[in-house]
């Protein structure tokens, strides 16, 4: 059977190292990879288009787990099969104390009764569910099952991934064509990759057909030309299910493009729906709604034109009826917009006790999965802006700037020609300046672990108000996704580490401390967390970090590196930056909050200068300022400009925001004693030791007594400067 299996089945990866793509799920350091390697699973649902690796991931788990693995297909199985699987799981648990993983392919095909039959056994741990589906689980899978599972969204493979799949098949000797002499021309490779459209299975099927139907030449070489490739795979498969997620997302994109007055995007989404076989009557019905909802009285003729096009379509049919679809869409896209008819719904809301209306988001339909997958986030409502238009992109990222519609100079179209051109220019300018960037789609989600959440919140609440503000600012700049791998460069007591754990539950967190004692303290602090949820604690300086990491996990690159006062202890900040940049993903970001000691609160400013003689006060000022002018002291010989230079020198684009803050601080006996002690708990000289370079012991004693008399138990505004840094390879230079 293996010999007769198709190439796509033979080339299915057997190990994680062979798996290509989906780095956001199984890249180094991420939760799912760690779970597979540690054989520790909770229930999972893999969601994504065909040929992206859902079943392969399940089989990889089957090959590595010590648990009993049962695989069923929801299309072929019913409640009886579920009961048999549950019975087997119970027997395994009782006789061998062995867990059971139940893999359900096409899990969305289970009806409600089948899903209900499965639910209690997932809930009580009899089986660990791994589901695979091409449909949005928030629409098609029992909500109770979804809430108890981690959801991983797989994306279509990119061009580089598909080329690696093709190369792997051509060089693999046991399962692929490595033993044959196959030469694929570059144009043929480009065609395979382009038409496969992110589907590895489609790519391998096309390659197999090309190789198996092409005779070798006199030298035994099988030449795959562009012509052969075009015969092997002729038409791009479009992911589109008339009752599924793609259907709702695409019609949502069309309607929002029409509402946003973008004729190019409207034609693109209309063409995609027609190409995929959508019912034109459904599209006309939605355009008729929009003609009143979003154009309304601004152009009362809009509903007349769309209705006439719909009637004409009934007479003409396809394929010529596409002219009427395009005409209706172009008319609506270029029509002036008014939502004044929405006044009816205001009245209706009053009748219905002001029931809250749903707010639309950007392009994707967010009816039931906004919190889980972030679909629709960031949509800018055109009616909220002047002239009912905003410079917002409606085309896919790779098609931004593409022009499909060229208005003529005749009649009404001539009147809108200048408007269309100006809006296109404004859209391109907004993208160029980064004014509008489409929000990143959330690719993973999972159930909330209440115990962990309470533990993290309790830990975080130990920080003061100022630290919480710093933490929040860092994570606002970081823009973490749930699947990211994060490195805390200076974990301290865990202020940033614990928030990172909360924000990347399907990713991974690494926390660095400078000394073994500090690292041990943090490890003891996180010991109560489940093993897979714990951060990996490292002991290293910033310059030592890459070497220490290499001993823990090879080839790891971080989506985000964060740090609070991470660079303050580094004598050579450029060298530290050079080492750290090796650990950053090409699309990653480095976010820092660094206190600049050079600008910290001066103690002499807390005193009343009239309480000391003028000469002593002036020498006190000079002695204290000398502390911060020492060019040999790495603690104080730098500022924000130096940090920017260090990061820019290693190829990063850097944004810097310097903040002067004032924090309430009470002057206590312990604090004064620490200032005036002769020995310091750290290796650095104390305040009194610095003063001793210019003042006598008696003068220092007088100053200390003045601090005690005038400031003891007083609350003062303590001044400090914190610089927030956001650096990446793609930031503006």
**Most confident region among 401-410, 585-594, 670-679, 685-694 by mean pLDDT:** 585-594
Task: Please tell me which residue, 308 or 715, carries the higher pLDDT value.
Answer: 308
Task: Please tell me which residue, 34 or 448, carries the higher pLDDT value.
Answer: 34
What does the longest C-alpha to C-alpha distance in the chain come to?
Answer: 106
What is the rounded distance in angstroms from the CA atom of residue 402 to the CA atom of residue 423?
Answer: 13
- Is 240:271 a contact under the CB 8 Å cutoff? no
Sign of the Cα pseudo-torsion (30, 35, 36, 42, in order)? negative
**Tens digit of each residue's pLDDT (9 = 90 or more) over 519-570:** 888 888 888 788 888 899 999 888 888 988 888 887 889 999 999 998 888 8
The pLDDT value given to residue 376: 65
Mean pLDDT of 362-367: 63
- Is 256:299 a contact under the CB 8 Å cutoff? no
- Is 657:723 a contact under the CB 8 Å cutoff? yes
The pLDDT value given to residue 591: 95
The pLDDT value given to residue 732: 43
- Is 21:157 a contact under the CB 8 Å cutoff? yes
**Tens digit of each residue's pLDDT (9 = 90 or more) over 96-122:** 888 898 898 888 888 888 888 888 888
**CB-based contacts of 507: which residues, under 8 Å, 6+ apart?**
29, 30, 31, 480, 481, 482, 483, 484, 485, 486, 559
Report angle CA 523, 579, 600 to the nearest 5 degrees. 75
CA distances from 523 to 440, 455, 511, 515, 550 (A): 33, 15, 10, 12, 20
The pLDDT of residue 584 is above 90: yes
The phi, psi pair for 190, rounded to 5°, reads: -60, -40
The full length of the chain comes to 733
User: How many CA within 13 A on the CB side of residue 373?
Assistant: 23
- Residue 571 is given by DSSP the state S
Mean pLDDT of 658-673: 84
What is the rounded distance in angstroms from the CA atom of residue 517 to the CA atom of residue 360?
Answer: 52
Tokens of 443: 């690719």
Tokens of 698: 């008696």
Q: What is the residue whose two structure tokens read 């390879």?
A: 729
CA distances from 576 to 125, 272, 427, 573 (A): 47, 50, 40, 5
Mean pLDDT of 308-326: 89
Give the chain's radius of gyration (CA, Å).
32
Q: Which of 72-76, 219-223, 727-731 has the lowest mean pLDDT?
A: 727-731
- Coil/strand/helix, residue 92: helix
The pLDDT of residue 681 is above 70: no
- Is 288:307 a contact under the CB 8 Å cutoff? yes
Helix (H) or strand (E) holding 674: helix 669-676
The phi, psi pair for 607, rounded to 5°, reads: -95, 155
The pLDDT of residue 358 is above 50: no
β-sheet bridge partners, residue 589: 560, 728
What is the rounded distance in angstroms from the CA atom of residue 637 to the CA atom of residue 261?
Answer: 55
**Tens digit of each residue's pLDDT (9 = 90 or more) over 604-644:** 899 888 888 888 999 999 988 888 888 888 778 888 898 99
Tokens of 438: 């489409």
Tokens of 169: 């098949």
The pLDDT of residue 709 is above 70: yes
Tokens of 651: 């190829």
What is the rounded distance in angstroms from the CA atom of residue 326 to the CA atom of residue 307?
Answer: 13
The pLDDT of residue 487 is above 80: yes
Q: Which long-range contacts (CB under 8 A, 24 or more apart) does 228-232 make?
A: 228/188, 229/184, 229/187, 229/188, 229/189, 229/191, 229/192, 230/191, 232/192, 232/206, 232/207
Report angle CA 455, 461, 465 to the nearest 5 degrees. 160
The pLDDT value given to residue 191: 86
Mean pLDDT of 638-660: 90
**Percent of residues, the chain, with pLDDT higher than 90:** 14
Mean pLDDT computed over every residue of the chain: 81
**Tens digit of each residue's pLDDT (9 = 90 or more) over 86-102:** 999 899 888 888 889 88
Of residues 218, 220, 219, 222, the one with CA closest to residue 207:
222
Give the pLDDT band (50/70/90) at residue 462. Answer: very low
The alpha carbon torsion through 233, 235, 236, 242 (nearest 10 deg) reads -130
What is the rounded distance in angstroms from the CA atom of residue 462 to the CA atom of residue 525?
Answer: 13
What is the rounded distance in angstroms from the CA atom of residue 377 to the CA atom of residue 363?
Answer: 9
Mean pLDDT of 443-463: 51
Of residues 643, 650, 654, 563, the one with CA closest to residue 599:
643
CA distances from 693 to 229, 372, 696, 697, 700 (A): 82, 62, 8, 10, 11
What is the rounded distance in angstroms from the CA atom of residue 681 to the CA atom of residue 674?
Answer: 9
Distance of CA 714 to the CA centre of its chain: 47
For the chain, the distance separating the N- and C-terminal CA atoms, rounded to the nearest angstrom, is 58
- Is 722:643 a contact under the CB 8 Å cutoff? no
> What domains lie within the chain, and their CATH numbers?
22-153 (3.40.50.300), 159-232 (1.10.8.60), 245-432 (1.20.272.10), 459-538+547-566+574-593 (3.40.50.150), 598-645+654-726 (no CATH)
Give the pLDDT band (50/70/90) at residue 354. Answer: very low
Sign of the Cα pseudo-torsion (168, 171, 172, 175, in order)? positive
What is the rounded distance in angstroms from the CA atom of residue 550 to the CA atom of residue 546?
Answer: 6
- Coil/strand/helix, residue 592: strand
Tokens of 708: 């005690």
Q: What is the residue whose two structure tokens read 């009649």?
A: 411
The pLDDT of residue 510 is above 60: yes
**CB-based contacts of 646: which residues, under 8 Å, 6+ apart?**
567, 573, 574, 576, 577
Q: What is the residue whose two structure tokens read 């569910």?
A: 129
Give the ranges where 262-337 is alpha helix by DSSP (H). 263-275, 280-290, 301-316, 322-334
Report angle CA 485, 443, 382 to the nearest 5 degrees. 120
DSSP 470-527: HHHHHHHHH---TT-EEEESS-TTSHHHHHHHHH-TTSEEEEEESSHHHHHHHHHHHT
**Tens digit of each residue's pLDDT (9 = 90 or more) over 49-61:** 888 888 888 888 8
What is the rounded distance in angstroms from the CA atom of residue 286 to the CA atom of residue 274?
Answer: 14
**Tens digit of each residue's pLDDT (9 = 90 or more) over 183-202:** 888 888 888 888 887 888 88
CA distances from 33 to 23, 25, 28, 282, 483 (A): 10, 7, 7, 43, 11
């Amino acid at each position: 059977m293996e010999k007769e299996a198709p190439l796509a089945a033979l080339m299915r990866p057997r190990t994680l190292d062979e798996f290509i793509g989906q780095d956001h799920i199984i890249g180094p350091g991420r939760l799912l990879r760690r779970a597979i390697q540690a054989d520790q699973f909770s229930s999972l649902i893999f969601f994504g288009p065909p040929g992206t690796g859902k079943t392969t991931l399940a089989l990889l788990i089957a090959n590595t787990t010590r648990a009993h693995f049962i695989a069923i297909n929801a299309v072929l199985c019913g409640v009886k099969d579920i009961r048999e699987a549950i019975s087997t799981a119970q027997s395994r648990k009782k006789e061998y104390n062995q867990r059971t993983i139940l893999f359900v392919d096409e899990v969305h095909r289970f009806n409600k009764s089948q899903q209900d039959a499965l639910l209690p056994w997932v809930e009580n741990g009899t089986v660990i569910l791994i589901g695979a589906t091409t449909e949005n689980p928030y629409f098609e899978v029992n909500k109770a099952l979804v809430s108890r599972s981690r959801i991983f969204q797989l994306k279509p493979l990119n061009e580089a991934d598909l080329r690696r799949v093709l190369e792997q098949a051509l060089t693999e000797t046991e399962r692929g064509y490595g033993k044959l002499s196959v030469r694929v021309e570059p144009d043929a490779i480009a065609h395979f990759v382009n038409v496969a459209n992110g589907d590895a299975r489609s790519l391998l099927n096309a390659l197999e057909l090309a190789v198996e139907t092409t005779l070798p030449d006199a030298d035994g070489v099988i030449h795959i030309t562009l012509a052969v490739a075009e015969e092997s795979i002729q038409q791009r498969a479009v992911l589109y299910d008339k009752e599924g997620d793609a259907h709702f997302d695409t019609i949502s994109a069309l309607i929002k493009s029409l509402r946003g007055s973008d004729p190019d995007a409207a034609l693109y989404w209309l063409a995609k729906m027609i190409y995929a076989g959508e019912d034109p009557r459904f599209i006309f019905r939605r355009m008729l709604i929009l003609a009143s909802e979003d154009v309304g009285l601004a152009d009362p003729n809009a509903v007349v034109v769309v209705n006439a096009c719909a009637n004409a379509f009934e007479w003409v049919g396809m394929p010529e009826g596409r002219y009427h679809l395009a005409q209706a869409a172009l008319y609506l896209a270029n029509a002036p917009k008014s939502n004044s008819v929405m006044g009816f719904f205001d009245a209706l809301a009053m009748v219905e006790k002001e029931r809250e209306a749903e707010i639309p988001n950007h392009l994707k339909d967010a009816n039931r999965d906004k919190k889980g997958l972030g679909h629709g986030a960031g949509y800018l409502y055109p009616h909220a802006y002047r002239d009912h238009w905003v410079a917002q992109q409606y085309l896919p990222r790779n098609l931004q700037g593409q022009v499909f519609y060229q208005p003529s100079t005749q009649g009404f179209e001539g009147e809108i020609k200048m408007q269309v051109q100006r809006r296109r220019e404004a859209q391109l300018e907004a993208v160029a300046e980064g004014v509008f960037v489409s929000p990143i789609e959330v690719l993973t989600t999972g159930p909330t672990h209440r115990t962990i959440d309470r533990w993290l919140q309790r830990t975080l609440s130990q920080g003061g108000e100022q630290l919480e503000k710093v933490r929040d600012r860092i994570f606002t700049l970081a823009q973490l996704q749930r699947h990211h791998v994060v490195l805390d460069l200076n974990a301290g007591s865990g202020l940033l580490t614990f928030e990172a754990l909360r924000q990347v539950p399907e990713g991974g967190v690494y926390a660095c401390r400078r000394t073994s004692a500090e690292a041990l303290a943090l490890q003891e602090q996180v010991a109560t967390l489940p093993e897979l949820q714990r951060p990996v604690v490292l002991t290293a300086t910033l310059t030592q970090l890459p070497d220490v990491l290499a001993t823990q996990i090879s080839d790891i690159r971080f989506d985000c590196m964060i740090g609070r006062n991470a660079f303050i202890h580094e004598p050579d900040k450029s060298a530290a930056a050079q080492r750290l940049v090796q650990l950053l993903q090409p699309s990653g970001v480095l976010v820092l909050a660094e206190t600049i000691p050079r600008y910290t609160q001066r103690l002499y400013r807390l005193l009343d200068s009239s309480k000391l003689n003028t000469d002593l006060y002036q020498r006190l000022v000079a002695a204290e300022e000398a502390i911060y002018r020492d060019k040999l002291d790495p603690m104080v010989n730098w500022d924000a400009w130096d940090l920017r230079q260090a990061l820019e020198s290693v190829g990063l684009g850097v944004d810097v925001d310097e903040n002067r803050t004032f924090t309430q601080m009470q002057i206590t006996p312990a604090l004064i004693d620490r200032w005036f002690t002769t020995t310091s708990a750290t290796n650095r000289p104390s305040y009194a030791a610095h003063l001793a370079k210019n003042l006598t012991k008696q003068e220092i004693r007088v100053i200390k007594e003045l601090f005690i008399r005038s400031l003891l138990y007083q609350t003062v505004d303590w001044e400090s400067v914190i610089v927030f840094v956001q650096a990446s390879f793609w930031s503006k230079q």
